[in-house]
Amino acid sequence: MTTKTITMKTTMIIEKSKWFPSEYKADIHAVVLIAPGLNLLPSKMDQLAHFLASKKCDVLRISLGNKPDLWTETFSDAYDEALEHAEILQRPLYFLGFSLGALLGVHYLIRHPHHKFQKAILLAPATHTNLWNLIPAFLGNFFPKLKIPSLNLPNYRQSSSTTLFEYKKIYDLQNQIKNNLKNDKNEINIPTLLIFNSQDELVDTHKLSKFADLNPMWTTVKLTNYESLLPKKYHHLIIDSEAIGAEGWEKVLKSLTGHLSL
């Protein structure tokens, strides 16, 4: 059930995590954990969840909530739930994350080298963001509760604003990944599909491409959204057919199908 909490300044929509069981009960291919982006309505990942369910996957689409200090704990709990289900079915566990969700997935993969994910899909991961994102992250040290208006379209966003503390948390997660890679020399040692738009407003796609090139098990797919049906185009938003158009969406689904051998 979805509930709304309305204040004078901010409208917040809280959605719960949700399972999307496949109709092919006797022939499940895999279990997939899906994680959404920052201030994104989790249900906006449901188009992907329904597609994967139609391809004989049981899908757990999670909600990260609006408490940044609990993001990693929420992800870890969801991983445990999805893994238990995969082990009961004796099927592989896959991961798909968008933006912040992809960042949390990479953070988990690197911090837990004995994880049981067998494949991953990263959509515009927030592992490498543009320099201007450092400004709200820095200010989050001093004004963590200060909110800045969300630029995302109203029907895609969870809230009309985002706290500076959320940006600071993203920066902290990025640094933790860098430190682990530097100190432990961990690699994301599973087949990983990276999908992004080269014109992404938030992601530093040059650094992201260089990072991907260091991982021999990564495959990169670049998109455009010139066919987007939205009233305003956001190159970072690559999660449904409306955002990137029919041709781009077909490319995404074909890439997912091939990568996961569905």
Instruction: List the chain pLDDT tens, one digit each, 262 residues.
Output: 343 433 335 578 889 999 999 999 889 999 999 999 999 999 999 999 999 999 999 999 999 988 999 999 999 999 999 999 999 999 999 999 999 999 999 999 999 989 999 999 999 999 999 988 889 999 999 999 999 999 889 999 999 999 999 999 999 999 999 998 876 555 788 999 999 999 999 999 999 999 999 888 999 999 999 999 999 889 999 999 999 999 999 999 999 999 999 9
The neighbouring-strand residues paired with 59 are 20, 32
pLDDT per position as a tens digit, 73-92? 999 999 999 999 999 999 99
Strands (E), the chain: 3-6, 11-14, 18-20, 30-35, 57-61, 93-98, 117-123, 147-149, 161-163, 192-197, 218-223
pLDDT per position as a tens digit, 187-216? 788 999 999 999 999 999 999 999 999 888
Cβ 235 vs Cβ 200: under 8 Å = yes
pLDDT per position as a tens digit, 116-127? 999 999 999 999
Cβ 116 vs Cβ 163: under 8 Å = no
Structure letter (DSSP) for residue 210: H
The neighbouring-strand residues paired with 16 are none
d(CA 46, CA 41): 10
Q: Can you list the domains of the chain with their CATH numbers?
A: 3-259 (3.40.50.1820)
Number of H helices, E strands in the chain: 7, 11
